[in-house]
Structure 1
Amino acid sequence: MKRNIRLRRLTGGTALVGTMLMGTAAIAQTTPAAPAPSDQREAAPAAEQENAATDDIVVTAQFRGQRVQDTPIAITAVTGDALEARAQTSITDIGNFAPNVNIQPAYSSFGSAINAFIRGVGQNDSNFALEPGVGLYIDDIYYGATFGAVFDLSDLERVEVLRGPQGTLAGKNSLGGAVKLYSQKPDGSGDAYAEATFGSYRRIDLRAGFDLKLADDLFMRVSGVSKHRKGFVDRLDYGCVNPGQGIAASPRDGTGCKIGTEGDQDLSAVRVALRYAPVGPLEVNLVGDYVDDTSSSVAAKLLYAGNPNIRSYVPGSPAGGVPFDSRFITGAKSYTIYNTYSNGGNYTTVFGTPYQVLPGSFAAEPRNDVRSWGLAGTIDYDLGSGLRLKSITGYRKADGYSTTDLDGSPLDLGLNAGSFGYDQFTQELRLSARIGDLADITLGGFYYDSSSYIRQRVEFPTVLLDFLTDDPISSTSKSVFGHAEFHLGPDLNVIGGLRYTNDRKTYEFSRRNADGSAISGVPLTTNFTVAGLNGLSSTFSGDRVDYRIGLNYRFSNALMTYAQVSTGFKGGGVNPRPYNAAQAQSFGPETLTTYEVGFKSDFLNRRARLNGAVFLNKYNDIQLSLLACPDSPCALPANAGDADVFGFELEGNLQPVDGLTFSGTVGYLDFDYTRINPATGISKDAVAPFVSRWTSSASVEYAHDLGSGRITPAWTGLITRAFSSMPTMALAATCRDAACSTRGSCTKPRIAYGRSRQA
């Protein structure tokens, strides 16, 4: 049996990672190893090449096993070993090695979720009323929410990042692209491994796994991970740090002015996989996993506070007391914030009016946790005569709790806390046929059904709102699809794909007072009341046809080129945050048509590789939030814009000598709005959220053979990841430039709230 031990130490900043694999010689096996996974058995290089130094990764982006270099798609594929060598352990690290890809943890008001964008297309709001713009897949099972999607990358066989609309391939909501995670399959090898990582802020990560042969043709693999880290942003007591400023310090017992932290991580997960793979036409894979994440709120920092008309409540003073201004912004390079996650005895007036909120008792813990589990079953069957049938069945459930102190200060301007729940069932069937040397064809169907809920207490004293929500959301999607690749010659292929999709989503509204009683109205304005929402529901339904037409030609063993036109869409939904009943309405899907040309090349006896693509996106009916509605404020999602997005991507690696590998990527995006609704507060020259004009990364690895193992020092870094638009939270206004909101840019914000990241 071979035992692998991996030791790693990380500190802040760029890390030098050493991975050591040590073990005894493998014991000879009396029975043959498990056959290769069925989805990779067909894969073979287009032509045999000697002196191959660059590894070939087999991907299944077109429903069958192909080398990356033979796949006419802008795709980045990374093996699990490469992820380990680079210390990339979370789905949020994927943007570090794929051009024009940005995946970040979402702000805590959206629960334990991610913001995923590819080529400027994605979704920055994890509310279940909305749809993601980047498809996430685990072993080909679609995950239909960004909540609960902070997946760990441990024990993976590979990651595939597909850029551009995957409307006929990956399917549902893969408008900007798709991220596909493929787990290691059991093979009965008897391998085992253990890994420890430690670093700043008391970080300790543990990973372990083993592979067993249970019986002839039956194999099991078990893996687990544990991550722990103290928070790296300190929450400070403003009154303690700034005595005599009108806000009293909280009682302390010799603990100084620190009242807590943000950015703490506490996660444990386990995964069990069973594989039945007899010699013959059948292969069955069953996988179950469980994740328990009890981390704190996502680390954040107040960036802007400049509205003196918002003031803390002072008894006997109708004009209010301490204004909300720059006094609550801590040093630019300090990892500190003054939020309290409590009304804390400070209450506000309504934008300078004499309305005042009576003292309450709403306080919450700075939590951002989620518990999830999933089951998946995949059946592959070779029907003979070039026919293969594949069934992919999955169920996943996630429940969590999060809190958000929206103002980032000791004032009580906005506090949300509540629980989120999501479960889904998916079923996909594929029938693939190989017609000699003429064509490869896949026909299939896909079904998706989900139910979810949002239960929160929402407090905005500045507009006299303090209410409970208990909103169930249901969603279904059905589609049929076909994909064909016609081989017109040994080096020339024509590709066509078509998919029909029918979506339906229903959102039900519940609004009650904080004590559970019925809401009778809000005194501020007759058009600004949530009272009429209780019991209402709204539904979006619609269908869509997407297509893909492509041509690829291999000039030689070293160069393949392709050109294609492809489409995709992000489904419509329902406004989850209406200010009154008239705003409880649906909106339509946004669509994308991409014109793309690209190349895949190997040279220097395949010690060097360079892949590239140039594209133009026609991005229509973009879902943006309207900030002004007739006679009322609003945050109403609408199909309010169009844009043209031009860009290119380059990916390359070089292996000058055995073991030494240099890798790098470059991405460019030029995002230009061509139509915009003025009610969004966005101008045509505004920079779209989560878009960087330039992105680039680089890495160096050296694998040295030790005889019984190897050592692999590696360096990986982002040379450029300068976002022109950083995600923030804004209350009652949006913003622009350095502190822009996730919904666009217009006037300066009253509150801007940005994420902090560990150095």
Structure 2
Amino acid sequence: MARATITPARRTMTAIIALTTGLTGAASLAQAQTTSTPPAADAPARGGASNGASDGASIPEIIVTAQFRAQRLQDTPIAITATSGAELEAKSVESVTDLTAIAPNVNLSQATGLNGSAIQAYIRGIGQNDSSFALEPGVGIYIDDVYYGTTFGAILELNDLDRVEVLRGPQGTLSGKNSIGGSIKLFSKKPDGNGGGFLEASTGSYGRLDFKGSADFTIADGLYARVSGMSKHTDGYMTLLDYGCLYPDSGITATTGSKSCKTGTEGGIDIHGGRLALRYQPDGSPLEINLVGDYSQNNSEQVATKLIAADNSAVRSYVADDASAGVPFDSRFITGAHSYTSYANYASGGNYDSVFGPYQVEPGSFTTSPENTAKAWGVAGHVDYQLGDHLALTSITAYREAHGKTGIDLDGSPLSLLTQEFTYGHKQFTQELRLSAQLGTLADMTVGGYYYNARDRITGRVLLPTSQLDFIQDDPVTNRSTSAFVHGELHLTDALNLIGGLRYTDDKKTYVFHRSNTDGSVPDGASLVNLLVVGLNDQSSTYTGDRIDWRLGANYRFSPELMVYAQVATGYKGGGTNPRPYVVDQIVTFDPETLVTYEAGFKSDLLDRRLRFNGTFFYNDYKNIQINRYTCSESVLSTCSEPANAGNAHVWGLEGELFAEPLDGLQIDGSFGYLHFQYTSVDASTGVSLAMKAPFNPSWQSSAGVQYKADLGHGIGTLTPRFDWTYQSAFYFNSVNADTNKVAARSLFNLRLTYASHDGDWELSSAITNLFDKFYYTGKADNYSNYGVVTGAVGRPREWFVALRRSF
């Protein structure tokens, strides 16, 4: 049962049981666990018939470890998309946010500016769009089987990968930590001692200049290493303009004297990183150890953001002698509908005519910059020990840190409605221990335990003139989760398998609120400024809860070409405390959201394995849905930004994936997803109605791609053109649906042409993304009711690049 209390801040327990492995590591770096050697492509699966692979098979086989053991994708009875690293490159998939293009009912994008360098990850309409450490991701992000516990810092570059697995539906009994919506698992290439590697350089539009590479080598017998690195730079595509410079008679003071009136850009990318992996596996030894360390520095710009709606005449430009004569915040600050321009200046300079009188902020008294940075590092250890022919022990130990800063100008104008600056700090330790057994040909079993401990901090300055707020925030957050789990597969016949899983989880989260005036003093009510936050300083709130999740399923292989499966699974996303109270009575808790999913699907390889078609139907019983509301009528201040439980819903959907090679060299792939969301009950105080939909629930998503690998003959090499299309229907960005936060449908197209030498050592590629230069929004921050402002995060325009790769 969950309970929540407001208590004085206290220190949390930090002692943990020392592990016999003595290894620590990074959440994004531990190696993927396999309890046995992956089966050959033509070997029959345990507990099932062969899938019909042959030497002449057209469709490449991918081995996945979603059920704690190595299995072919087509023998894994869950909704999963698996793609090799080579396929990702062919589709110009470079970042984790680009994975939207490869899997149905998956919606990934960079979060809006308020959330720092974070990801908005949704699968089947379930996820999290707020990066606050008080909230849990709805979609688990894993690298090499290690859970990364926050959306902040989770925009990862896809470099030197073996494969990606996207698991849809609750993974409470499978993945390291509970993931209610699904999981995205990235698996890096392990050192294998075979040598080799590559170097690649790219250049393109907006000053693009990228470098990446890797190398694999043997240190000694049984000891191997792999080093990889990358550098990525692209200039910003959203131009920031000085309104006073462009319109000198407007009453707005110019801040630059340049002829272009340009003050900067948004949307620029500047990322550098490296990774070192060591693998110890002597011939014939039952022991395998993988140690990994990495470091990355993301110095990118703020998300490209554009003002869409503006109407708040109470906020005006600062005029020293007469505040009421200032220029009001209205549509004059909206630039052309499809132009990549903004008047945001990342500085204060507005004042507010409130019932308390004008609140004036001198121009330049608070200035931030359009930066969105994240620096991360970590180390990791993954140990596999074969205790016997049918018994294996796995230990995954991980430690990671991420720190970053973001400057925020959410009104997109030279005035100051929402000017803020935050720094984020995240530290996490995780330990997972598994014992896997094969009980002859009857069953496969895995039992284990999981521990997660995070220490986080959010600091920064909040300037909200419309609420008479200008304060410093410094909030520590602690998050501890422990769990025990068991997963089993019972092989009743060569064709029929039963699956069951159970997990118990215990959570504890504490949030402490520190508030001070800009001079460091504690708000005491002596000034009208920060009057509302009086009493917030040193308040704390603790949430505790536990949960049992389970999974039951069965699968049957009718033939080497066709397998069907059905399952029922549960999942949840933990509750917590409102991290953004404006007044004391807004320190409130919210409950966990829960999910029961009923799912049935099939996996097929047809036409002598020239055609692969997989399909899934699911039905979700979704309860206590967590949303964010912006109006709190029960509070002394109706303006708020507060997580709450909106109600319950039924969601059903369809998913399909296709891969075909009708002719040698010609490949066609595609996917589609459909979501039908319907609230069955709502809490009216949240502003949600039965006719609305939860955020990030597009009804349709689809993708298609075609490529042809043409042999140029005479040892010249091959030429491969590829064309890709992705579609996403409209969805709402806010829980309270309105036209102002409706993100329009979009179709995007990519084109790529690749030449490869006959020996594969050289490769030259050229590509265009967003081929038809579609102007679109990835999200819309709608705060029209409180502040009279709506801004949109603008997707990337058409870009081209050329890349040259040398493999060795």
TM norm structure 1:
0.91
Counterpart CA distance in 2 for 1:272 and 1:712 is 33
Shift of 1:244: 1.9
The residue type paired with residue 500 of structure 2 is G
How has the CA–CA distance of structure 1 residues 507 and 286 changed in structure 2, closer, same or farther, with 3 Å as cutoff?
same
The 8 Å contact of residues 335 and 341 in structure 2, kept in 1 or not, is answered as yes
Equivalent of residue 559 in structure 1, options 538, 558, 562:
562
Which aligned pairs between 1:489-638 and structure 2 lie closer than 5 A?
A: 489-521=493-525, 529-626=532-629, 627-630=631-634, 631-633=636-638, 634-638=640-644
Counterpart CA distance in 2 for 1:721 and 1:49 is 34
Counterpart CA distance in 2 for 1:335 and 1:514 is 34
Please say if 1:244 is aligned against 2:249. Answer: yes
Please say if 1:404 is aligned against 2:408. Answer: yes
The residue type paired with residue 394 of structure 1 is A
- Aligned-pair Cα RMSD in Å: 2.4
The 8 Å contact of residues 34 and 68 in structure 2, kept in 1 or not, is answered as no
The 8 Å contact of residues 370 and 398 in structure 1, kept in 2 or not, is answered as yes
Equivalent of residue 719 in structure 1, options 710, 719, 726:
726
The 8 Å contact of residues 167 and 567 in structure 1, kept in 2 or not, is answered as yes
Shift of 1:679: 2.5
Percent identity of paired positions between Structure 1 and Structure 2 = 50
Q: Which secondary structure does the structure 2 equivalent of 1:462 belong to?
A: helix
Number of aligned pairs? 718
Please say if 1:206 is aligned against 2:187. Answer: no
Shift of 1:718: 3.4
Equivalent of residue 650 in structure 1, options 648, 653, 656:
656
Please say if 1:285 is aligned against 2:281. Answer: no
Equivalent of residue 75 in structure 2, options 49, 70, 73:
70
The 8 Å contact of residues 735 and 745 in structure 1, kept in 2 or not, is answered as no
Which aligned pairs between 1:279-428 and structure 2 lie closer than 5 A?
A: 279=283, 280-317=285-322, 319-343=324-348, 346-350=349-353, 354-359=357-362, 361-428=365-432
Tell me what 1:758 maps to: 796
Shift of 1:585: 2.7
Counterpart CA distance in 1 for 2:33 and 2:281 is 8
Q: Which secondary structure does the structure 2 equivalent of 1:93 belong to?
A: helix
Tell me what 1:437 maps to: 441
Tell me what 2:144 maps to: 139
Tell me what 2:231 maps to: 226
Shift of 1:709: 9.3
Counterpart CA distance in 1 for 2:615 and 2:538 is 52
Equivalent of residue 95 in structure 2, options 90, 96, 99:
90
Residue range with higher mean Cα deviation, 169-178 or 59-68: 169-178
Q: Which secondary structure does the structure 1 equivalent of 2:324 belong to?
A: coil
Unaligned runs of 5+ in 1: 1-35
Shift of 1:625: 2.6
The 8 Å contact of residues 289 and 382 in structure 2, kept in 1 or not, is answered as yes
Tell me what 2:753 maps to: none
How has the CA–CA distance of structure 1 residues 642 and 716 changed in structure 2, closer, same or farther, with 3 Å as cutoff?
farther
Please say if 1:256 is aligned against 2:294. Answer: no
Tell me what 1:152 maps to: 157
The 8 Å contact of residues 693 and 735 in structure 2, kept in 1 or not, is answered as no
The 8 Å contact of residues 85 and 713 in structure 1, kept in 2 or not, is answered as no
The 8 Å contact of residues 116 and 124 in structure 1, kept in 2 or not, is answered as yes
Unaligned runs of 5+ in 2: 1-31, 745-776, 798-808
Tell me what 1:17 maps to: none
The residue type paired with residue 682 of structure 1 is V
Tell me what 1:20 maps to: none
How has the CA–CA distance of structure 1 residues 744 and 491 changed in structure 2, closer, same or farther, with 3 Å as cutoff?
farther
Counterpart CA distance in 2 for 1:617 and 1:502 is 24
Counterpart CA distance in 1 for 2:112 and 2:491 is 48
The residue type paired with residue 563 of structure 1 is A
How has the CA–CA distance of structure 1 residues 59 and 684 changed in structure 2, closer, same or farther, with 3 Å as cutoff?
same
Shift of 1:321: 2.3
The residue type paired with residue 160 of structure 2 is D
Equivalent of residue 700 in structure 1, options 699, 706, 727:
706
Equivalent of residue 674 in structure 2, options 668, 672, 676:
668
Shift of 1:524: 6.4
How has the CA–CA distance of structure 1 residues 539 and 83 changed in structure 2, closer, same or farther, with 3 Å as cutoff?
same
Residue range with higher mean Cα deviation, 350-359 or 279-288: 350-359
Q: Which secondary structure does the structure 1 equivalent of 2:457 belong to?
A: strand
Residue range with higher mean Cα deviation, 651-660 or 319-328: 319-328
The 8 Å contact of residues 735 and 748 in structure 1, kept in 2 or not, is answered as no
Tell me what 2:130 maps to: 125
Which aligned pairs between 1:51-62 and structure 2 lie closer than 5 A?
A: 51-62=56-67
How has the CA–CA distance of structure 1 residues 650 and 592 changed in structure 2, closer, same or farther, with 3 Å as cutoff?
same
TM norm structure 2:
0.85
Shift of 1:553: 0.6
Q: Which secondary structure does the structure 1 equivalent of 2:86 belong to?
A: helix
Counterpart CA distance in 2 for 1:396 and 1:669 is 36
